[in-house]
């Protein structure tokens, strides 16, 4: 019976290809949009992930995400260093600053000020130059995408000079970082240099980066740091592990922006398109083959076997359509992998697993709806004119 079911399915090539096209298009639309959504939303915490040499981020307790940074007084650094279990703690600046290029054009950038001695938080992957060159006077490192944005269509050349807050900055390196959520160039410099590059403020320190001692967990050290809040004479501090801070930033963007809604609409439309095209076409295919199913029932084939034939047909077109759609999605990301704006976006196993489950639901729903006409079909319909 399985062979008969497949022959019936492939025999009507127009509807067979129509069902496959509908499922493939729905797979492509859902997989592409979900992958782009996951990639974009993960960019919101990319600058947290890039700091690999510190396990703990200490910040003002009112901080909601990585880009909203109430400044901390320098005294908080000493308080954190005095917490039992803290191996070391250093300060970091993060903020936006406008730079003026040699051509006179202006660019908004994200500036990181790293601890002068340890350079904790420095980029891990250098394309040109060395992270230690940040210890040179007026030294700045920029990410590759930022370099292309600031000096479009120009080859990488170290030694370029530009201005930050009317102070001279010298490009000493180009690095590769995780793609940021906002398309601003990412600059790195020493903390003492950042004090010159940004407008003067009473407090400059954005974060305190810390490392726990080997015999103490990061979560326990975070709890001890937050216990400092019991002293009401100081402002309240929040201490989070890298993973906790990453997810806190993601949750902020998920709950406070329209990104999930917009992508959710597109993903839902892809699912509806798949249900509509596959369901309608498969239903018409089944209706046009009612006489064949009736003949099988007249020969004594039970409804259970008929239902199995219909489900087999649905699973075959679902598997072929899903495979084509997944291949098209992979081809899209492979083709666009060299485009800076789409860097870091790609298919995830979890995404394809979820899309595969949605496609399975689509084809099973189409088969169940189609099977109703067959299950209640009278075998005598075969002998009617």
Question: Both 183 and 227 in a single domain?
Answer: yes
Q: Specify if 160 maps to a domain.
A: yes
The reply to whether 224 and 278 lie within a common domain is no
> The pTM is what?
0.79
Whether 92 and 203 map to the same domain: the answer is yes
Please say whether the beta carbons of 167 and 111 come within 8 A.
no
Measure the CA–CA gap between 385 and 363, rounded to whole angstroms: 33
- CA 92 from centroid of its chain's CA atoms: 26
* φ, ψ at 143 (rounded to 5°): -75, 160
216 plus 364 within the same structural domain? no
Q: Which residues, including other chains, have CB under 8 Å from residue 142's CB and lie 6 or more apart?
A: 150, 171, 173, 174, 175, 185, 186, 187, 188
Would 55 be classed as within a structural domain? no
d(CA 345, CA 179): 9
Range of the domain at 225: 73-234
Give a yes or no: residue 294 inside a domain. yes
- Is 101 within 8 Å of 154 (Cβ atoms)? no
Residues 325, 376 share a domain: yes
- How many distinct structural domains can be found in the chain? 2
The domain boundary residue, chosen from 219, 234, 249: 234
**Cα separation of 109 and 203, whole Å?**
20
Q: Is the dihedral of CA 268, 271, 273, 279 positive or negative?
A: negative
Residues 329, 214 share a domain: no
Asked whether residue 194 falls in the same domain as residue 97, the answer is yes
Please report, in tens digits, the pLDDT of each residue of the chain (385 residues total): 676 667 766 777 777 787 788 888 888 888 888 888 888 888 888 889 999 889 999 999 989 998 888 899 988 999 999 999 999 999 999 999 999 998 889 999 999 999 999 999 999 999 999 999 999 999 999 999 899 889 988 899 999 999 998 899 999 999 999 888 888 899 999 999 999 998 777 788 999 999 999 999 999 999 999 888 776 556 789 999 999 999 999 999 888 877 888 888 878 887 787 777 777 777 777 777 767 776 776 676 777 777 787 788 788 888 888 999 999 998 988 888 777 667 777 888 888 888 888 888 888 887 777 777 676 666 655 555 5
- Cβ distance 58 to 228 under 8 Å? no
pLDDT for position 324: 92
One domain, residues 22 and 109: no
Say if residue 94 is in the same domain as residue 224. yes
The verdict on 81 and 220 lying in the same domain is yes
Q: Is residue 28 part of a domain?
A: yes
Taking Cα atoms as reference points, which of 128, 111, 119 lies closest to residue 176?
128
């Amino acid at each position: 019976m399985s062979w008969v079911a497949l022959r019936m399915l492939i025999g009507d090539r127009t509807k067979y290809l129509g069902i496959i096209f509908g499922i493939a298009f729905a797979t492509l639309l859902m997989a592409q949009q979900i992958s782009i959504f996951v990639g974009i939303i993960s960019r919101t915490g990319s600058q947290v992930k890039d700091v690999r040499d510190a396990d703990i981020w200490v910040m003002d307790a009112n901080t909601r995400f990585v880009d909203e940074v109430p400044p901390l007084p320098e005294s908080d650094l000493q308080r954190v260093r005095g917490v039992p279990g803290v191996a070391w703690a250093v300060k970091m600046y993060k903020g936006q600053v406008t730079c003026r290029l040699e051509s006179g054009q202006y660019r908004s950038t994200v500036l990181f000020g790293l601890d002068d001695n340890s350079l904790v938080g420095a980029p891990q992957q250098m394309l040109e130059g060395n992270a230690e060159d940040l210890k040179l006077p007026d030294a700045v490192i920029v990410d590759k995408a930022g370099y292309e944005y600031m000096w479009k269509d120009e080859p990488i050349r170290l030694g370029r000079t530009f201005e930050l807050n009317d102070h001279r900055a010298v490009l000493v390196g180009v690095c590769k970082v995780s793609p940021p959520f906002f398309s601003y160039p990412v600059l790195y410099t020493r903390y003492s240099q950042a004090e010159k590059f940004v407008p003067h403020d009473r407090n400059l320190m954005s974060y305190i980066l810390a490392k726990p001692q080997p015999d103490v967990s990061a979560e326990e050290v975070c709890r001890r740091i937050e216990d400092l809040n019991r002293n009401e004479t100081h402002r309240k501090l929040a201490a989070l592990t890298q993973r906790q801070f990453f997810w806190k930033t993601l949750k902020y963007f998920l709950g406070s922006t329209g990104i999930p809604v917009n992508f959710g609409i597109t993903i839902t439309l892809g699912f509806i398109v798949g249900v509509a095209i596959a369901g309608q076409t498969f239903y018409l295919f089944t209706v046009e083959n009612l006489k064949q199913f009736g003949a099988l029932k007249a020969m004594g084939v039970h409804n259970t076997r008929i239902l199995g034939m219909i489900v087999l047909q649905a699973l075959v077109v679902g598997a072929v359509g899903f495979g084509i759609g997944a291949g098209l999605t992979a081809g899209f990301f492979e083709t666009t992998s060299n485009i800076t704006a789409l860097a870091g976006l790609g298919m995830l196993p979890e995404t394809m697993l979820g899309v595969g489950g949605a496609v399975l639901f689509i084809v099973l729903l189409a088969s169940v709806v189609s099977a109703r006409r067959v299950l209640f079909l009278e075998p005598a319909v075969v002998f009617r004119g």
